[in-house]
Structure 1
Amino acid sequence: MGVPHDLISVRIEDAVKMTGISRTVLYELIKTNELETVKIGRARLVPITSLKALVSRNVTKSAA
């Protein structure tokens, strides 16, 4: 799934698709403040910067 360059946040369902993380794990990351979200009205949005930071923090180098 490509992310349009001007997109700054996505809904939970889209964050699940983009990362490959299960919905349950994504909500656990939100609960433990490892993933930031924004609530606007009834919508819970995940900033793209928060998703990128999550992945960056969890990158592991493969054994050489």
Structure 2
Amino acid sequence: MSATMTAPADKLLYKPEEAADILGIGRSMLYELMSVGTVEYVKLGRCRRIRRTALEQYVANLSPENH
């Protein structure tokens, strides 16, 4: 077993809970975004994983609030 751990920024795929933490939103909100296709995910068997690029794309598509 390797003594080094992968830093979160170096991961290619995230669990929904990890992705929600990264985005600063709740897990249920992330699942809603996934269900409507706003955040893309892949299925590995029965597990859903979110690509790092999908998180970056979601953030890039957010519109700034007008105050």
Name the TM-score class by shorter chain. 0.7 to 0.9
Bigger Cα Rg: 2
**Deviations 1:4-57 (Å, cap 9, x if unpaired)?**
2xx211010110111111111101101110010001012210011000010110
TM-score, normalised to structure 2's length? 0.78
Query: In the alignment, is residue 55 of structure 1 matched against residue 59 of structure 2?
Result: yes
Gap regions ≥5 residues in structure 2 = 1-6
Match status 1:42 vs 2:46: yes
Distance in 1 (CA, whole Å) between partners of 2:31 and 2:8 is 23
Which of residues 7, 13, 26 is equivalent to 1:22?
26
Give ranges in structure 1 of 5+ residues lacking alignment: none
CA–CA distance in structure 2, aligned partners of residues 26 and 3 of structure 1: 19
> Quick one: which of 10, 13, 28 aligns to 2:14?
10
Runs of 4+ in structure 1 deviating by more than 6 angstroms, as ranges, are none
Q: Which amino acid aligns with 1:8?
A: L
Q: Distance in 2 between matches of 1:42 and 1:31?
A: 15
The alignment's C-alpha RMSD in Å is 1.9
User: 1:33 is matched with which residue: 10, 31, 37?
Assistant: 37
Q: Given the two structures, how large is their TM-score scaled by the length of structure 1?
A: 0.81
